[in-house]
Amino acid sequence: MAILQIRQAIRDAMKEEMLRDERVFLMGEEVGHYNGAYKASEGLLEQFGPKRVIDTPIVETGFSGVGIGAAMCGLRPIIEFMTFNFSAVAFDQIMNNAAKIRHMTNGQFGVPIVFRGPNAAAHMLGSTHSQAFEPYYAHIPGLKVIAVATPYDAKGLLKSAIRDDNPVIFLESELMYSVKGEVPDEEYTIPIGKADIKREGKHVTVVTWGQGVPVSLKTAELAAKEGIEVEVIDLRTLRPMDIETVITSVKKTNRAVVLFHDWPYGGVGCEVIAQIQELAFDHLDAPVLRECYEDVPFPYADNLEQLVLPTPEKGLAAVKKVLYRG
Amino acid sequence: MTAAGPTEVSYEDQLKAAFKDQSKDDILRDYLAMLRIRRFEEAAARAYTRGKISGFLHLYIGQEAIAVATQQAIQPQDRVVSAYRTHGFALALGSDPKACAAELFGKAAGLVGGIGGSMHFFDKAHQLWGGYAIIGNHIPVAAGHAFASKYTGDGAVTLVFMGDGAVGIGPVHEGMTLAGIWKLPIVFVVENNQYSMGTPLSRTLPVEDITSRAAGYGFKSDRFHVTSVAETRDRIGAAVKRAREDNQPTLLELITYRFRGHSMSDPAKYRQKEEVETWRMQDPLERTLRALQLLHGFDEAALEQLDGEVIAEVDAAYEFADKAPPPLPEARFANILVGE
C-alpha cells in the first residue's frame, strides 16, 4: 500500500484510465502546462501530450459544451473546473445538455463525461468562491453525483466515474487535496452508489460526505470521550444515494444527524432526512438534525467564516441534542 | 408588387439568368425538395390549429432552400446541428416524414419516440445531431463534435446552424473562440431571417453584418441572400471544403426570411404586408417554380400534378401520425441513465 495525497490519487486515477482507454482525455483551465491549479494533473501533459491534456481559455460554458459534444461522438472527456463555483456559468450545459441528451434523443446519443474539481468552501475566499454545488446537480435526473473525502475513495470512484456511460459530477475539496491515506498498489474500483461506514457506533448515526467527513470523524472522537458511540456514514455518492446503508444504521441507533458542508435550505441534507423519515419513521427516537453552514453567504473575515462553518463542537452539540443530553 | 410591366420583365430576365446554367432535372429536384418541406410545414400549422400538435412549433417556411442546399453540400460522415426550427433539416437529410409528423404529435413512432417534440429533432442515422432549444447552447456542443473529429481523424465536418437572434448570447462566442483556437473542422451558419422572435435586427445587432465577427475568431466568412439552392449549396460547400481540407472554420451569414411568425403563437403583426410581399419575390421556392415555368415550359397542370404528389406524401405522414399509438407509460423512465 502506498500513502498518497488525494490530489495524487486523482492524478493516478486519470493516468490509469488514460492508459487504459485512448478515448479518455482531460480538458480545463491550467490542466496542462501549469499541471493543474491544485496539481491534480501533475505530469499528465508530459506523459500524454497536448492532444489528450488540453489547456483551455477561461470559457467554462465553451469547454463544458465541447466535452459534451465530444462525448456524444464516443470520446470520454474529463472536464476539470478550477472550482465548482465556476461551473455556475456552465450550468446550462450540464443541466440542459449533459443530463438531457440521452433522454431527449430517445437513446440515440449518450454523454459519458466526468466534470470534476473542488467544491464548497476553502479558506477565506469570500461568497462567490465558497459554495457547495451538490444540491444543484443532485437535483437533476440524468446525472450522477459523487463527493470524496479519502485518497482511496477518490481513486476508486474516479476510475468508476470515467468508465461510467453517464454524465458524472465528481466533487473534491481545495482543503482536502493534501489529505493522505492508504491506496492499494493493485488495480481497483469502487462502485458508484455505495456508502461507506467510516466509523462504527451504536448510539447516533451521523450521515455525511465530502468535507463533512473529517468534521464528522472528529465529532465522533469528541463524543467517544463522553461515552457516546457515533456511527459515521460517508455517502460518497449523492445520486444515486445508498439510503439502505443509512436506514440500516438508523434502525440500530434510532437517532441521526446529517453533517455536511453546504447550506441547510433545500439541499442533499434535506433529501437524506426526507428519506429517513419516510423509511424509518417508527425507529426514530428524536427528530433528525442538520449540522451544516449557517444560512448566509460566506463572509471573507476569518472570524466570521469560522462561525459559518460546521465544526466538531457543533457536531457534538447536535449529537447530544438527538440524545436529549445537554 | 405594385410596379408596372418593366419590373415584371426584369424580374423574369433576372430569373432566367440565375437559372440558365442549371439542368431541368436539378431545378426540378430542388423545387420538389423545397416544396416537400413547405407542404409539411403547412400541414403542421393546420394540425396545430386543430389541436393535434402542442407546445412550441417553429415553421421553416421561406428558409427551405438552406436545408436542401446543406444536404447537397455534405458527405455521409458529416454532422448537421440545428436549433429548434429543425423540421426542414430532418426532411432534407432523409428522415422519414412519418416519423417527423409522429414526433410533432407526441407518438411512440416519432423521431425521438415522442419525447422531444418539434424543438428536439435528432436523427443520427440521417446525420441530424439536433434539435436544440436553448438559444446558442448547441454551439459549444457542435464545436465538441468537430473536436472529436480532429481527435479521432474521422474526416467529418460539423455544420452548425443558428438564427440571427442567437449571435449575442455567450455560448456562441465561447464555442467560436475554441473552434478558432483549435482550428476545428466546422462551419457556423447564421440563418438570418430578419427577426429575433418579434424584434428586428436593427434592435438586436450592434452592426448589420454578422460576419464582421469572423475576423475576431480567425475565421473565413461569406454572406449572401439565399435565392436558390444551387448558389447556397456551392457557397456552403466552399466552407465545408475549407473545414475538411484545412481545418479552417467559416462563419456564414445566410440572409433569408420566414414567412410565418416566430412560432404558431405569433401572428407577426410587427411587419408590414409590403415587406412580406417584397420578400415573396425573393422566395427561393417561388423563384424555382417560376424558373421551371419560364425556362422549361412547365404548365399549371404539370405543376399541380407535382404538387399533388408531394401533398399526398405529406398527408400520408400526418395520417400515420394521427393514428399512431402514444408512447407506453414506462417510456418516461427510459434513457435517463444507462446501465442501471
**Same domain for A170 and A300?**
no
SS3 sequence of A129-148 = HCCCCHHHHHCCCCCEEEEC
B180 close to A (CB below 8 A): no
Contact B334 A106 (CB under 8 A): yes
| DSSP string over A162-179 | HH-SS-EEEEE-GGGTT-
What is the Cα–Cα distance from B315 to B312, expressed in whole angstroms? Answer: 5
What is the Cα–Cα distance from A111 to B7, expressed in whole angstroms? Answer: 56
Q: Is residue A190 part of a domain?
A: no
What is the Cα–Cα distance from B223 to A324, expressed in whole angstroms? Answer: 75
Q: What is the number of structural domains in chain A?
A: 2
State residue A208's pLDDT score. 98
* Among candidate residues A128, A152, A183, the one where a domain is terminated: A183
Q: How close does chain A come to B284, measured CA to CA in Å?
A: 32
Is the sign of the CA dihedral B295, B298, B303, B305 positive or negative? negative
Q: Is residue A188 part of a domain?
A: no
Give the contacts of A199 (CB within 8 A, at least 6 positions apart).
A217, A220, A230, A231, A232
Contact A62 B137 (CB under 8 A): no
Q: Is residue B208 part of a domain?
A: yes
Candidates A59, A106, A142; nearest CB to B337: A142
Which chain A residues are within 8 Å of B113, Cβ to Cβ? 106
Q: Which residues of A are the active-site residues?
A: 60, 129
Identify the domain containing residue A283 by its residue range.
196-322
Contact A65 B152 (CB under 8 A): no
What is the Cα–Cα distance from B193 to B138, expressed in whole angstroms? Answer: 19
**Same domain for A50 and A146?**
yes
Q: What is the number of structural domains in chain B?
A: 1
Q: Is the pLDDT of residue B2 over 70?
A: no
| DSSP string over B285-335 | HHHHHHHHHHHH---HHHHHHHHHHHHHHHHHHHHHHHHSPPPPGGGGGTT
Residue B135: closest C-alpha in chain A = A92
Identify the domain containing residue B293 by its residue range.
8-324
B174 close to A (CB below 8 A): yes
Which chain B residues are within 8 Å of A102, Cβ to Cβ? 335-338
Choose between B156 and B257: higher pLDDT: B156
Give the contacts of B207 (CB within 8 A, at least 6 positions apart).
none
Q: What is the mean pLDDT of chain B?
A: 94
Q: Is residue B340 part of a domain?
A: no
**Same domain for A119 and A157?**
yes
Structure-block grid coordinates of residue B34: 423545397
**Which domain CATH number covers A315?**
3.40.50.920
Interface of A with B (CB under 8 A): 25, 51, 56-57, 59, 61-75, 92-93, 96-97, 102-110, 141-142, 144, 164-166
**Same domain for A154 and A207?**
no
**Same domain for A148 and A84?**
yes
B311 close to A (CB below 8 A): no
**Same domain for A51 and A152?**
yes
**Same domain for A164 and A282?**
no
What is the Cα–Cα distance from B122 to B130, expressed in whole angstroms? Answer: 5
Q: Is residue A161 part of a domain?
A: yes
State residue B269's pLDDT score. 80
Q: What percent of chain B has pLDDT over 90?
A: 83
Contact A62 B337 (CB under 8 A): no
* Among candidate residues A158, A183, A208, the one where a domain is terminated: A183
**Same domain for A170 and A246?**
no
B149 close to A (CB below 8 A): yes
**Which domain CATH number covers A111?**
3.40.50.970
A71 alpha carbon, distance to own chain's centre = 22
Q: Is residue A144 part of a domain?
A: yes
State residue B222's pLDDT score. 98
Nearest by Cα to A153 from A218, A120, A199, A198: A198
* Among candidate residues A121, A152, A183, the one where a domain is terminated: A183
pLDDT in tens, B292-320: 999 999 999 999 999 999 999 999 999 99
B104 alpha carbon, distance to own chain's centre = 17
Q: Is residue A189 part of a domain?
A: no
Q: Is residue B136 part of a domain?
A: yes
Candidates A66, A104, A105; nearest CB to B147: A66
**Which of B80, B84, B137 to mutate against chain A (most A CBs within 10 Å)?**
B137
**Same domain for A59 and A178?**
yes
Tally of CB atoms within 10 A around B215: 11
Structure-block grid coordinates of residue A50: 497536448
Q: Is the pLDDT of residue B4 over 60?
A: no
Tally of CB atoms within 10 A around B158: 30
Q: Is residue A191 part of a domain?
A: no
**Which domain CATH number covers B208?**
3.40.50.970
What is the Cα–Cα distance from B256 to A76, expressed in whole angstroms? Answer: 38
- Model-level pTM? 0.96
Which chain B residues are within 8 Å of A75, Cβ to Cβ? 148, 151-152
**Which of B157, B178, B332 to mutate against chain A (most A CBs within 10 Å)?**
B178
Q: Is residue B145 part of a domain?
A: yes
What is the Cα–Cα distance from B5 to A215, expressed in whole angstroms? Answer: 87
B163: enclosing H helix or E strand: strand B158-163
Q: How close does chain A come to B338, measured CA to CA in Å?
A: 7
Q: Is residue B23 part of a domain?
A: yes
**Same domain for A97 and A153?**
yes
What is the Cα–Cα distance from B93 to B68, expressed in whole angstroms? Answer: 8
pLDDT in tens, B201-216: 888 889 999 999 999 9
**Same domain for A48 and A99?**
yes
> DSSP class of residue A286?
S
Candidates A59, A70, A109; nearest CB to B151: A70
Buried b (16+ CB within 10 A) or exposed e, A66-92: bbbbbbbbebbbbbbbbbbbbbebbbb
pLDDT in tens, A74-96: 999 999 999 999 999 999 999 99
Residue B114: closest C-alpha in chain A = A106
> DSSP class of residue A26?
E
**Same domain for A176 and A202?**
no
What is the Cα–Cα distance from B110 to B141, expressed in whole angstroms? Answer: 24
Q: How close does chain A come to B87, measured CA to CA in Å?
A: 15
Compute the average pLDDT of residues B107-128: 97
Candidates A72, A93, A107; nearest CB to B334: A107
Residues of chain A short of pLDDT 70, as ranges, are: none
Q: Is residue B2 part of a domain?
A: no
Q: Is the pLDDT of residue B3 over 50?
A: no
Question: A19: helix, coil or strand?
Answer: helix
pLDDT in tens, B216-264: 999 999 999 999 999 999 999 999 999 999 999 999 999 998 888 878 7
CA distances from A221 to A76, A199, B243 (A): 41, 10, 63
